[in-house]
Amino acid sequence: MEMARRIKFFDTTLRDGEQTPGVNLNLQEKLEIALALERLGVDYIEAGFAISSVGDFEAIQGIAKALKTTSVVSLSRALEKDIDRSWEAVKSAVSPRIHTFLATSDIHMKYKLKMTEQEVLENSAKAVAYAKKYTSDVQFSPEDASRTRPEFLYKVLEGVIKAGATCLNIPDTVGYSNPDEFSRLIKGIMENVSGIEKVDISVHCHNDLGLAVANSAAAAVAGASQIEGCINGLGERGGNAAIEELVMLFNTRRDYYDFEHNIDSTKINRTSKLVTSLTGVYLQPHKPIVGANAFAHESGIHQHGVMEERSTYEIMTPESVGLTSNRMVLGKLSGKHAFVQRLEELGVKLDTEDAINRAFGKFKALADRKKEVLDEDILALVDDNYDKIPKRFELVSFQISSGNRMINTATVQLKVEDEIITKAATGDGPIDASYKAISEICGYDIELKEYNIRAVTGGHDALGEVNVKMGIGGKVYLGRGISTDIIESSILACLSAVNRAS
């Protein structure tokens, strides 16, 4: 019996995913996501673009030192200085990889690179050979491969294989291809590139026309052995292939996709929620696999069918992606042991006793205000616990006077280092007034650029989660706050952003 072929997953949430407009992760947040991705079981984590900024370099370096099993990758242009910087960032990893790229399509060579074919051929091979001096694992990407003339693409790929490349990534950079075309491209590479049997073929598909997952799956069937993507399909423009969708496609349709992989699908929901929380990019309810409605049934016919036999309207189970259909109700009388056990059941691992105590303290405080603390509440509390930004400004108390026929006033009291400062301000509403009071205390000119609110659970005592983008000192900072009181959530979100700017 023929063995199932193994597909490797290359996650670029921290590199391409962070290029999503409005997303700006700090070092600690990147590390939290990287650790979650390692628990999920991805084979490679592209942790950033080392030369792009000091922050990216430090994040890659920190992730490389922290991960125990997963290969860490840094992206580089086909330039020696980029490759030097990438190696400095990843060299501590248990399995370091350098990923270098150069565009190969006519339109990119003419208008962006202003290079001839010969220059592209030479520079591609030269970059790979240079990276090979540092590590045995070098990945090369011919950018815009799906719009590159196949005969020229074959020459470039042969050149980098001879130079020592171990993985060739074939990107559909602008999401232009369709599954039939992309499958033919992969087959053409396998049939026409000398030495291709010695390397992995990877694919990196963008979702501009909604075909990233379909193109990636078609490429795997055609012979690709590695797939690149992002959690929740994050990325430039329309985003990248969503890793969770590909994993569940392969798992659910094993009759067609006879692949093995290393992903623990029960960690999908938890990882998705963490990425959502830290990036501030919410999912549409009907997002496959991880959207709020992915396992919801409203139609009476559907509900009856599912109650009689799940497979009538569910092709996969909620449990397979880490959701649970049963529920342990925790409340104010629950102890730390029960709380930690529930965290473990939800796939959450807090690494230190201090982190557990802080999360449990928040749980007890919430339990005093809420009759039932549900799984979603616990996950939201733990996500909020991940924010380890030093809290120069902490909320002590607030008081609101608000109405449609009165001047809206907020009095906010903050702890600033060892001093308690109180300020009052008026505004267009209670939140605007609160933010103006905070601005006076902090001494920052604060501009609210984006405000999002959602109920974490249902009911009158539901947790409210507020995510904001604040303009402070010419830069934009994300902030997040959670409370059963929406005004308090809004104030906490503002302070989260202000503390990031401090």
328: which residues sit within 8 A by CB, 6+ positions away?
338, 342, 345
CA distances from 46 to 116, 201, 217, 351, 459 (A): 29, 16, 20, 23, 40
Q: Collapsing DSSP states into helix, strand and coil, what is residue 446?
A: strand
Mean pLDDT in residue range 377-401 = 79
What pLDDT score does 325 carry? Answer: 55
The better pLDDT of the pair 62, 345 is held by: 62
Is pLDDT at 327 greater than 60 in this prediction? no
Q: Dump pLDDT digits (tens) for 24-40.
A: 898 999 999 999 999 99
Res. 338 pLDDT band, cuts 50 70 90: confident
Q: Dump pLDDT digits (tens) for 73-110.
A: 999 999 999 999 999 999 999 999 999 999 999 999 99
Is pLDDT at 275 greater than 70 in this prediction? yes
238 contacts 290 by C-beta, under 8 angstroms: no
Is pLDDT at 297 greater than 60 in this prediction? no
Angle at 72 between CA 237 and CA 26, to 5 degrees: 60
Which residues are paired to 295 by β-bridges? none
Is pLDDT at 300 greater than 80 in this prediction? no
Res. 326 pLDDT band, cuts 50 70 90: very low
Q: For residue 186, what is the enclosing H or E element?
A: helix 179-192
Mean pLDDT in residue range 124-147 = 98
Whole-number Å distance between alpha carbons of 127 and 117: 15
Is pLDDT at 403 greater than 80 in this prediction? yes
Q: What is the pTM of this model?
A: 0.80
- Across 377-404, b (16+ Cβ under 10 Å) vs e yields bbbbbbbbbbbebeeebebeebebeeee
**Which of 276-280, 389-393, 421-425, 480-484 is the most confident on average?**
421-425
Q: Dump pLDDT digits (tens) for 61-70.
A: 999 999 999 9
